[in-house]
Structure 1
């Protein structure tokens, strides 16, 4: 077949992982670089609502994680997507299935969901397919014996349930590629034996779909025990179960399946696979001749940990201040800093986290455990190695730095990040919406069509912020403890968009109030967001 005859969709398949260049003669969409959608409303402008302009159309933060939402490839993109295509797929990578392997309790669901979140943020049409969802939909209550989970069940009924669940799941994956214009499917299943994995590889490669296996192996019993406890509390398999009974049942499921599981090895030497040991402590690559997209996956895995802490968002004092202004905190700002500190300390203690001390009780760089020889060292000191720790990120503005003064007295680590500077509004920074519409009608109309990607002259867009903070997103993924980010609302909107899998059109409308802290809690299946009201401690005596 000549290159000129290859369709856009076929060309992506022929180019595989991106290792082969795209022919200049290949047919391409004329809308490759289009971001605009005229049906989208005006959502945000970088002006103070008190200046007389029309009020912004803001959306309340509901706490609903969009990571499992089915995306429309023609109108919804991730925050850091570089470009869009009519097919919904990036040109420099083909169709890919990432098949997970590993015993229960090895963090496969967490891995599949976090990878989906990251790839969607990059604008890659990605969806997780959890075999457990299909098993629960297929099996009756009386079928849920441990025989159902082994590769070769002794019961014909259990075998039939397994076959039906697997076939329906794989069929949905194929429909995702064909009908939904999907690019990366993540198949979350045990895939216990080489025969299953080889058959899966053959099935998809015959359809010109690249196959990558990620095997999650855990040698640390503490990690396994923690995953068992989380599954007993949160797994859909144990809804309305007694916790201790659920924990016992899940442990028995692992023990029943363990004798059958065969790690990936010499029998599958022709397959491309990654061994992911102790959730990032060690990574082994096999047949690793990858292109752009899978290299991004590998890079993400190198920065991934099981999360146990939360991410807290707090707006900086006087969020609506002019972009170029950088005054110190006034008396009200100092009180805001005090209220923020005591509210968060009180909340953490209510959650059973007593690691915030007074005065010099805590040494900032003190490690609470020894790091193994093989373990990756965090690139920035020892931030977030311990689950019972707090690190604060601020911009380099004086008022955000000063807001942390009562945390520093408690020896909490504070990091100042230049990437957390607010969105530069350019020439319209001090103007109301009506003034912009009157003075720059053409700019205003373009912004109204797409508030996420449009830049006013000499300004930044939300998309620019998303690209700018990607290193911080990866640093955040490396950390296990709590993080507090104090920044302008525009920065918080973009971070929230990543953690809760918002489309780029939702991000400019997210509403962060100055008297609230937003807490993002990590979960293996989906994240959740909660509001914490900042209390007034103005009349509290002897506040330290």
Structure 2
């Protein structure tokens, strides 16, 4: 987990429609998945709330004109500062706003450093006007706003802002410039944004076919597929032959049950060791009943905190998230991938795309003999479960049976 005592505030900078909100959401999803608790604060949302509240509580006739932008920013900053100061888990606050002017950014930096003690990282998104990411807004109206803002916009500059820690993304991330970036979390942000992509694509996930150990309720091991598992492998290949996905890549783990599920695909499956199932250590090869009888203390410990519990000489879900980092960055860049994996591993991967918390992750349902289809649109992901109608044993335990 992230034990750094120093907290971080990320301040987004850029013209309207330059993809700042997209960047904020994607970055927040990634950092939270890594166990670095992150929250986005957007003054525009406060602006809407303030105007609604005003219309409900006051008569508008004869009122003084209010500087709504200043008021909404003040309310937003108040909540941001409160969260960073008072939440024990808080690590990164992201301020999603234009922050166009140099003086404005200087005041923000001083206020947040003084009141929260956090480090400040500016992220500027610079987009060609013809490549602007218009998020539900009329394109013409957006371009007019951009043209108006451009007249007074002051970009981050290494000469004019020599003491700032910042990175600039050009056309989302076609090129990136960094300046004075220090600290583990800031370095992690740079590394992620270099690899992040914002294009639409589809990814597919499936557990291996039912195994002999699945039938016996045994953890871990390297068993073969059951007869129904072999039937599923054939059905899975038949499904993807039918949908005719161009340049489909198949990735899988080195364990037999996964490789046997992938063996019918003409495209040779790429083997990733990091896709191996969670290691149960001394509990490998046992049933849940045997574990509760032989290691009752371990059973109870994992019941208290399934995500962070580590099997003796084995792994925790957090450990799996850490070792999956390389494949997650590959998935950020990839199109048309089918991953044939294991229950705990797929829970960790799907939790990233679906924004699940560490409390939810270990209990996500990933059924046997189904294809999970993730459709990505910029920073949003949606999952569809496609059953291939081959019977299989259920491995989804009740909530209170945490092992």
The TM tier, using the shorter chain, reads 0.7 to 0.9
Question: Is the aligned partner of 1:490 residue 2:397?
Answer: no
SS at match of 1:337: helix
Q: Structure 1 residue 425 and structure 2 residue 280: aligned? A: yes
Q: CA deviation at 1:276?
A: 1.4
- Contact map agreement 2:210 2:369 (CA 8 A) in 1: no
Asked whether 1:104 is paired with 2:11, we answer no
Distance 2:120 2:343 in 1: 40
Distance 1:406 1:476 in 2: 23
More helix by share: 2
CA distance in 1, matches of 2:377, 2:87: 27
TM-fit CA distance, 1:454: 2.7
Aligned to 1:279: 172
Please name the residue that 2:25 is paired with.
113
Of Structure 1 and Structure 2, the greater strand share is in: 2
CA contact (8 A) 1:93 1:293 kept: no
The gaps in structure 1 that reach 5 residues or longer are 1-80, 83-89, 144-155, 233-237, 239-245, 357-388, 537-544
* Residue pairs, 1:54-73, within 5 angstroms: none
For 1:131-530, list aligned pairs within 5 A.
131-139=43-51, 157=65, 160-181=67-88, 182-207=90-115, 208-219=117-128, 221=130, 223-224=131-132, 227-228=133-134, 231-232=135-136, 246-265=138-157, 266-288=159-181, 290-319=182-211, 320-321=213-214, 323-327=220-224, 332-344=228-240, 356=246, 390-408=248-266, 411=267, 414-477=269-332, 479-524=333-378, 526-530=380-384
- Cα distance, 1:331 vs structure 2: 6.2
Q: TM-score, normalised by structure 2?
A: 0.82
Measure how far apart 1:284 and its partner are. Answer: 1.1
1:231-259 deviation line (CA, Å, top 9, x unaligned): 12xxxxx6xxxxxxx34433333333333
- Secondary structure of the corresponding residue to residue 267 of structure 1: coil
CA contact (8 A) 1:343 1:535 kept: no
Alignment partners' CA distance in 1, 2:187 and 2:17: 26
1:523 deviation in Å?
4.5
Q: Matched residue of 2:111: which SS?
A: helix
Provide the C-alpha distance between the structure 2 equivalents of 1:206 and 1:446, rounded to a whole number of angstroms: 41
Residue deviations 1:440-492 (CA, integer Å, cap 9, x gap): 22322222222333334443322221221122122222x15233211011111
Distance 2:98 2:50 in 1: 17
Q: Structure 1 residues 268, 415: CA separation in 2 closer, same or farther (over 3 Å shift)? A: same
Is residue 6–residue 119 contact of structure 2 (8 Å, CA) maintained in 1? yes
Q: Which residue of 1 aligns with 2:60?
A: none
SS at match of 1:169: helix
The number of residues matched between the two structures is 373
Structure 2 CA distance for partners of 1:185 and 1:405, relative to 1, 3 Å: same
Q: Is the 8 A contact 1:109 1:524 kept in 2?
A: no
> Normalized against structure 1, the TM-score is what?
0.62
